[in-house]
Structure 1
Amino acid sequence: MKNLSDLELIELVRSASYGAFEELHRRYWSDLQKLAYSKIGDREDTYDLLQEMFIELWEKRTELKFGNELNGWLRKRLWFKLYGYFRTKGFNQKHQDNFKIFADAENTTTAFDLSELKQANVYYEELLAVIEGAIEEMPDRMREVFVLYRHKNYSVSQIADKLGIAPKTVRNQLDRAIAKLRKSTKQYDPRALELVFVLWLIS
């Protein structure tokens, strides 16, 4: 199973191969756990959330549309689970502090009430789809920089070294990418609270 591609694993999982499902679990659990824990900050809740996600994946294996890129699909699935987690449990002080730091780093100047995140609206799934569509439509270099920064946790200097460009160019590309995302989602929330929250989840 270890030598199978993700697409081959998906097909076997759809065919009810529990061995393939265990390999999928082994291959992606660690990275997903780190991402979820960085947002939740509680190991038991993180474990429970991921277990629930993988159980759902197995139970709905014939219904789910995995797509061609399993890592990205699993991360998206996790974003939905995290969103549900915070909608149900709300933000504790640690979450609020972490989110505030992120929002400040995003240069979000509009004031907002963090308690609003407990009542995040039903547009979330549409909003996430719009964001993903906007990322796909970015120019190649901008998308490459954004994905390295948001999805793979590269620093500005690491991206500059990897792509052979100046750090200032990286920052400019990131600024333009964020501006593009804000423009594509402006109809959902004029104060961009949902957008900032989604970006915090997926960063």
Structure 2
Amino acid sequence: MEHDTLLVKNVQSGKMKFDHEAENILFQKYYPRIRLKLQFRLHDDQDSIDDLTHEIAIELLHSLRNGNYDPSKATIGSYLNGIINHKLISYFKKRAQGKTSSIDDTADEGLIVLPRITENMDNEKLIQCLRHHLPKLRQNYREVFLLYYHDGFSVKQIAEHLGRSSLTIANEKFQALKILRKKCIIK
């Protein structure tokens, strides 16, 4: 962590000539993490994964050079997750705009992925069930559920974003998941 902060300071040194060695170390460290997160979200779309990985890595380095990252506000990992999430949101929006079908006709593109609890359930049935029951959840449960599972925010990030405590967010996420499990998961 301290090593990353030192590298970031070297990149943000304010000199005309940036510390390319520090950039290279950061690039080599975070490039695999970016790629892994994109592979998890985009599955087998290798061309998009390659393109977005490069875009995100370059955006991170440009952002560091321009002084947009403030180490006192977030870790470099959290900052990078923000960049990744914004790029993914833009990617899914562009991809959705390019299609003429309605949301009900689309498959699981960019939709919620529930961990472990859905292993034995048909994906189509799960998507239909979620589409049916998500709007019926209390607004705060639905909002937290979507921010966590769809947008990939951490509990802490959601708490900061919504101005609530992390404990409240964790409880709301748990309650939403509990309700959806009862409605959608067939044992």
Q: TM-score range by the shorter chain?
A: 0.5 to 0.7
User: Which of residues 62, 66, 88 in structure 2 aligns to 1:62?
Assistant: 66
AA of the residue aligned to 2:12: R
Q: Could you tell me which residue of structure 1 aligns to residue 183 of structure 2?
A: none
1:94 deviates by: 5.3
Whether the 8 Å CA contact 1:39–1:95 is kept in 2: the answer is no
TM-score normalised to structure 1 length:
0.50
Distance 1:95 1:133, change over 3 A: same
Cα distance in 2, alignment partners of residues 177 and 10 from structure 1: 36
Could you tell me which amino acid in structure 1 is paired with residue 4 of structure 2? D
Show structure 1 runs of 5+ residues with no match: 113-126, 147-173, 182-203
2:173 counterpart of 1:178: yes
The offset of 1:95, in angstroms, is: 3.6
Which one scores higher on RCO, CA 8 angstroms, separation ≥ 6? 1
> Does the 8 A contact of 1:9 with 1:20 survive in 2?
yes
Check whether the contact 1:138–1:177 (CA below 8 A) recurs between aligned residues: no
* Corresponding residue number in structure 2 for 1:110: 134
Q: Is the 8 A contact 1:13 1:21 kept in 2?
A: yes
Report the aligned-residue RMSD: 4.1
The amino acid across from 1:64 in the alignment is N
Alignment partner, residue 81 of structure 1: 87
CA apart distance, 1:63: 3.5
Preserved CA contact (<8 Å) 1:134 1:180: no
Q: Distance in 1 between matches of 2:107 and 2:11?
A: 38
Tell me the secondary structure at the aligned position of residue 37 of structure 1. helix
The one-letter code matched in structure 2 to 1:51 is H
Q: 1:58 to 1:130 in 2, by over 3 A?
A: closer
Which residue identity lines up with residue 131 of structure 1 in the other structure?
Answer: I
In the comparison of the two structures, how many residue pairs are matched? 132
Q: What is the deviation of 1:8? A: 0.5
- After superposition, residues 81-160 of structure 1 pair within 5 angstroms as 81-90=87-96, 95-96=108-109, 99=111, 102=114, 109-111=133-135, 131-133=158-160, 137-138=164-165, 142=167
Say which one has the larger Rg. Answer: 2
* 1:58 positional shift: 2.6
Partner of 1:6: 4
CA pair 66-177 structure 1, distance change in 2 beyond 3 A: farther
Q: Which range moved further: 7-16 or 87-96?
A: 87-96
